[in-house]
Structure 1
Amino acid sequence: MSSDEDFALVMETEQPETLEQIQALISKHKKQYELLIEEHKDLAEVRDERQKLAKEFRERSDIIVQTRKNDHDDHTKCLDSGREKIELLRQEEADLSQQVRQAKEDLKEQDANNAFLREKTRVFTAVPERKVVFKGQTGEPGAMQKFDIKSHIVYPMDGGTALVTFEEEIVAKKILSMGKHEVDLGAECRIFVEAKPIHLMIPSLVEIETEVCPRRILISNLPKIDIDSLGLNLEVHFSKTRNSGGEVDTHHMLHDSGTMVLTFVKDDVARNLIEMEHHDLEIKGTKHRVRVTPFLNGTIKNLTNKMQACLQTVLLTGIPDVVDQETLQDLLEIHFQKSTNGGGEIEALLYNPLGQHISAVFEGNTASCTEGGAAAL
């Protein structure tokens, strides 16, 4: 019912005329007021309850929004972390693939190296056959002869110089310490010479890489016959195809080892003969078994040199050409043999007069001149 209707209703009510009616009306309105107060109170409680619920809803809503936001941030971080892990896994996969490829290449290289080492082992075990006889002599294990290189050094000599090699190093040191020497040639003739040390460049380290020669073979266990006949018989035997041979180019005898080297025209002949190893051939009506082993070619890969002084050899300089070569060489040898002149026993003496150019050849522990004479290294 609208307010106009209420107002009209009230207006239609009869006006109280007596005190009792007025009191009754007041009492009625008082009750209505109390009811209104009670309803207002209930409405206020309902309002407060609704406001409380609304506040709780807002708080819960804020919590849910924040939770969703946190969940979204966590999800985003997880996605980023997952992407990073995927990228790392892809990188690891690429690295592993590269390592696998590298491992395959290394394995292939190792297989090739193993094959090369097996070939070398086969070569080194297939040494030329030599007969040995024990003669009852024994020695200490550390006293075995070591591998050494024989030097071959050409030393050019200037004119008016001489090389003197003494048997003892101490004599050479004394001659060098004296410096200049006065040599009496007789007939009141004297010359002055100066003693200087000799330094030669010699190898201190040599590294040699070896490989099997495809055209040469090394033949050992040879019969003791004339070398020319032996070479001819070997050429005839190993040139025949029924003996797995081929056309022979040259043959060469290695006297220090007692073996023969055959060189073929083609490369494929040597390998077949090496694989057979032992070969029977007939020489002067007698069968003889020889052994064929690989021939190694050597290539110097590393060479280190050093300067070394000749401990027993002294260089004499400033020698004038006053008498003939032979006479002056004898006079120099006589002078430096005398202990009164600081000298001693001479092993070799070589004199080169002015105007001449000769070379002294140092080999191992000794040296010789191309035109005669010797000196020590």
Structure 2
Amino acid sequence: MMSSDEDYSLISEASELQRIQFETNKCKMAYDSIISDQKMLVEARETNLHFTKQFDQRAATMRAALKAEEKRQEEVLEMDKRKITDLMEEQRRLKSEIQSVQQDILQMEETNYCLKQQSDVSTAVPERKVVFKGQTSGTGDSSGFDIVPKIVYPMEGGTALITFEDETVAQHILKMRDHEVQLEGNITLNVQALPVHLLVPSYVELDTQVCPRRVLVSNLPKVESVERLLDKLEIYFSKKKNGGGEVEEADMLHDSGNVVITFTDNNIAKGLTDKQDHEVKISGEKKHKVKVTPFLNGKIANLQTRETVCQRSVLLSGIPAIMEQDSLQDLLEIHFQKTSNGGGEVDDVIYNPVGQHTLAVFEEDSSTEAQSQ
């Protein structure tokens, strides 16, 4: 029979064995859990490696595609740059053409304006009295005559007309076009040289008839007083003993130096023209032989004009009113007389300031004279 100590020992060993067995089971469960986790980790690692490999493949594909896209974009960008360069060059060319066309339009408008003003002047010619001074032709049924035109050229404000003695100088000035005129006080005046376009008559037909009340008195002496000459002629032709009658008026034709006598009666003129030569006391007691011829009333039936360019004259434009008219006109003449400036001997010069209106009269020898209005 066991004692109580032995029983206690057996119970203790059994308890220890149970504890060990419990711990062993616990460790086994922990081990099984670790093995399970390890298996899951291995599976997760293999999955991650698979995903990583797929990602690397996709990344490589995307890098290749991105590189190809970058190359394509560079090519497109380079092409766009070339297009932009071409467009900018085309824009510069078109802008230059537009400026050139605008300058041509301005010049044409200026020319048309001048031609219109000259045309307005020319169309007024039929209303003026015309005196036949040409030479008749003995051949054919019709007679022709030469005319010496005086062309009225309206000048715009801020312009000047210069006529040179040598036409080659004028053409050289026109070829240079832009000129810098040095004024007083180191002031530079920029002007442009333009050709002078004129409308001149090329063919004129006149319907004429002898005026019954007027006569033309020619072969007159040169006198200092035109008024005295007219008074002497009026006195002579108003006397009946000289074949005259009551004089309505006596007018001097300054372009020819002849005088037109107008009577109140229609029956006086024919008797005076039939006699033709008359001796009139012009100065003192000495008589001077004058010639009396019929006065023709004329109406222009056909007028044809043509455009011509003055060979010796140049129009300067773009002149501001920066000094007195006479002073600036003198400085322009001095500048264009110098051969170092491309000029030459100046025959005449007219300057029309801004805000003023001047008419330049061109005669057959291309010299100019002007009157302000």
Larger radius of gyration: 1
